[in-house]
Amino acid sequence: MKIESKNPFNILSQLKFEDKDYESDSSDNALEVNENIKDYAGFNVRLWLEKKHRNGKAVTLITGIDMSTENLKDIAKRIKSRLGVGGSVSEQTILIQSQNRDEILKLLRAEGFYNIKKAGG
């Protein structure tokens, strides 16, 4: 191909795309992305900031996720590894040893939780 002008976009008009390949690739990728996201819309999740009985150190309590302890531990593990902090799970509450409520909110939204509010502190 010989480029006749200095405009680099002229060559794009000479390229031809096959519609069959383009349509099949885009639809397959879209289905994979949608299947990976879980919908936890029924949970009323609250992010509490607490400093009481902890020698002035702040922790974030995540409440309102009514799941088995194993699932809560799995969610807590992902949050803790992402933030690089400690934490634990007890009685339907996840305790994260930091006050990064904004980042935790973003992580929970990425997991599929939509009804999340900051509470306390």
Return per-residue pLDDT of the chain as tens, 121 residues.
554 567 766 766 666 665 554 444 444 443 343 444 466 667 789 999 988 887 888 899 999 988 888 989 999 999 999 999 999 999 899 999 988 899 999 999 888 888 889 887 6
- Distance from the first to the final alpha carbon of the chain: 66
Residue identified by tokens 């969610």 is 75
CA-nearest of 17, 28, 15, 43 to 109 is: 43
- Domain locations along the chain: 45-119
Report which DSSP code applies to 80. H
Fold held by 45-119: Translation Initiation Factor Eif1 (3.30.780)
Is the pTM above the cut of 0.85? no
Backbone angles phi, psi at 11, to 5 degrees: -65, -25
